[in-house]
Structure formats: structure tokens, C-alpha cells
A and B are shown apart, each in its own frame.
Chain A
């Protein structure tokens, strides 16, 4: 189980490959589910040229570790990884990578979905978008539909 906050851009696919290569679970996992969140250049009809992600150091890590532990209790999974950016981001930057390894797909999918939804409602991050002539705080996340 790993939780990482990053100030610099990261390549989620390289991170996924590297983490899985170092997993001490070779031969045990039959399913890997992942979610990657990426910054779009458009939101609510406005062009977005950049974004700043503010977070609450200490509490953010605590809640990412808390939801990771909850997922591990609730589903039969072997490992999980969360990497989340903070600070200034550009469109097309990866915001978040979540990956879950399990013996079977149901636990991997369900735990991965749980982690992103709980992250979005409980981890203390705040997005501020830079538009053409102004900036604005994102007021709430889009609702989960599942």
C-alpha cells in the first residue's frame, strides 16, 4: 500500500510499470485495475489554461492512507497505489493515479472505484482554475454515478 504526493509532473504509466515490477506479489495477482485523472483544457464551457491544486499537508496523507486501509479491509486485494499531484499543473498533466492489484477482477475494480470516489469526497485538495482573464475555485466535484 503506497500513498504519494507529487509536486512535479509524473507519467502514470511509467509509475504503474515501476510499482508493479517492484511488487512482492508476482504470480499472486491476476487483476490490475487503474484510474488516471487528467487535467482537461476546458471546464464548464470555459477554456482552462492552468490549474493550482492546494492541499492540507498532513491531513491529505492521513486520509489517503485511511481510504487505502478501508479498501484493503473491505475487499480481498493484494496492494494499492495512490499518486496525486499538488501545486501548479498544465492541461494534459496527470492529476491522480490509482491502481489496485488483486487475485480477481471484481475486487480490483470495486476497490479502485472506491478509492477514487472516497478521495474525491474526503481528501483535502482544492482546485483553482486559470481561465483566459480570471481564476476561479472549483466549487464541487461532479457526482459519482454508480
Chain B
């Protein structure tokens, strides 16, 4: 198993990819997923995150098999 990571909107364009799969080893929180995906980039201001389709915080737990998403503020409606 592993952690599935997704990016949306302007963040997807800046990351130059819509997502990736990361080994779950050494990952316990959303913040650690971000650090591993970006090789240590700081958490962008206003960036939102979700785990398994629910909003999550940087310190929220992540487990093997989870889907973690990062995206800018939402602008629907």
C-alpha cells in the first residue's frame, strides 16, 4: 500500500502534476505528506488539505492507503 496524493487548480499547475503515489513509510501526518512530496517546501499560505475527501489540518493523521489532497481556497458557486 501507499499514500495517494492529489493536487488541484493553481497548485496542480505549480506542482506540474495532478498527483502521485508516495510510500507510506515515515509519513504520519498531512504536513509530512507535503514535505515528502515537495522535498521540504514550506506550507503555502491559504493552502487547504483533505484526507479521504474530508477537510484536514496539517497535523491531521495519515495512514497507509489514504488519499491526501492539497488545493487553494475553493471558488465554486
A58–B54 alpha-carbon span in the complex (Å): 10
B69 within 8 A of A: yes
In the complex the two chains form, is B74's CB within 8 Å of A121's CB?
Answer: yes
- Tell me the count of chain B residues lying within 8 A, CB to CB, of chain A: 16
Which residues of A sit under 8 angstroms from B44, Cβ to Cβ? none
Within 8 A of A (CB), among B44-77: 50, 53-55, 69, 71-77
- Chain B residues engaging chain A, CB cutoff 8 angstroms: 6, 8-10, 50, 53-55, 69, 71-77
- Chain A residues engaging chain B, CB cutoff 8 angstroms: 37, 53-56, 58-59, 62, 84, 95-96, 116, 119-128, 137-141
Which residues of A sit under 8 angstroms from B74, Cβ to Cβ? 120-126, 141
In the complex the two chains form, is A125's CB within 8 Å of B76's CB?
Answer: yes
A101–B11 alpha-carbon span in the complex (Å): 38
Check A126/B72 contact, CB under 8 A, given A62-B53, A95-B77, A120-B77: yes
